[in-house]
Amino acid sequence: MTTTTAAAPPQTRWRGTGFGTQVLVLTQRSLRTLVSDPRMIVFSILQPLIMLTLFSQIFASIANTPGFPQGVAYIDFLMPAILVNTAMQSALQAGVGLVTDMKNGVLARFRSLPIRSGSVLVARSLSDLVRTASQLLLMLVFAVVVFGFSPAGGVVGIAAALALALAVGWGLGWIFLAIAAWLRNAELMQTVGFLAMFPLMFASSAYVPVSGLPGWLQAVANVNPLTFAVDAARSLALDQPVSGVVGALVTSAVLAAAGWVMAVKGFRRPL
């Protein structure tokens, strides 16, 4: 008498969750880390509010100069630029946060799991986008309540300017993520970021009309990509003829694509 045994079912190797699930879980993890530290929340909010307060008071007299747009309050002129600049500074913090995760061993633990490297970077980008959106919304409320920010574009114009600032910040965030993935040094990352940001911020139309700048600075401002982004956001908020929005969005998309490629390559290097 012969006996037969059922063949054991073939074992399949678990390959981890899908890319979307990984991004969702890692984004939630980054947001929980941010919320769990009240100091980080407070200082991330205070910095742009202090900038708004100082610049709105220091440069307010520019509204009385001949080259300033007629009938526009300085706070209405300034606030779209503050939105773009704050988004740009938050983009730098995305890179600093990635370096911090590299140094504290978080990414080393991720490498031992079946997680795609791209999902870690996308999650970092999305969590910083949420943080930036929260910052900008609080700044808008502060500007409306304290300084009477009320541009001609109304709520629709403000929302459009906010969305454009977030798009610009998201694109730049990928560039800073790429820089962080290659440098892997928080101090050096911040130094490089600030050296890049301050010329972009002040050699632009952010705080004064380009016509009010010295001749050589006008030449720089006219080719400064931040000028195009600020002018587009300002036109949306002030309900003026809009130009440069498509260019700003396309530039952000190109920066994001290039940053994605370089960030993934740098991230895959041995820690």
- State the DSSP string of the chain: -----PPPPPP-------HHHHHHHHHHHHHHHHHT-HHHHHHHHHHHHHHHHHHHHHSGGGGGSTTSPTT--HHHHHHHHHHHHHHHHHHHHHHHHHHHHHHTTHHHHHHTSS--HHHHHHHHHHHHHHHHHHHHHHHHHHHHHHH----TTHHHHHHHHHHHHHHHHHHHHHHHHHHHHHH--HHHHHHHHHHHHHHHHHSSSSSS-GGGS-HHHHHHHHH-HHHHHHHHHHHHHHT----SHHHHHHHHHHHHHHHHHHHHHHHTS--
Question: Which pair of structure tokens corresponds to residue 264?
Answer: 């993934």
Regions in the chain scoring below 70 on pLDDT? 1-16, 108, 111-112, 271
pLDDT for res 181? 86
Give the span between the Cα atoms of 268 and 125, in whole angstroms.
17
171-202 tens-digit pLDDT: 988 998 898 888 888 788 888 888 888 888 88
3-class DSSP state for residue 13?
Answer: coil
What residue ranges do the domains of the chain occupy?
22-30+38-60+71-268
Nearest CA to 173 out of 127, 230, 212 is that of: 127
How many Cα atoms sit within 13 Å of 82 on the Cβ side? 27
DSSP annotation of 203: S
Output the pLDDT for position 14: 46
Q: Give the per-residue pLDDT at 1.
A: 47
pLDDT on residue 264 = 86
Global pTM? Answer: 0.85
Q: Note the pLDDT of residue 79.
A: 93
Contact 220, 195 (CB under 8 A): no
pLDDT digits (tens, 9 = 90+) for 44-79: 778 888 888 888 888 888 888 887 888 889 999 999
Query: Could you tell me which of 166, 120, 114, 148 has the C-alpha nearest to residue 24?
Result: 120
Q: Check residue 247 and give its pLDDT.
A: 84
Q: What are the tokens at 156? A: 């629709």
Above pLDDT 90, what percent of the chain?
A: 21
Q: What pLDDT does 6 receive?
A: 52
**Residue holding tokens 């407070």?**
42
- Residue 51 is predicted with a pLDDT of 85
Mean pLDDT across the chain, nearest whole number? 83
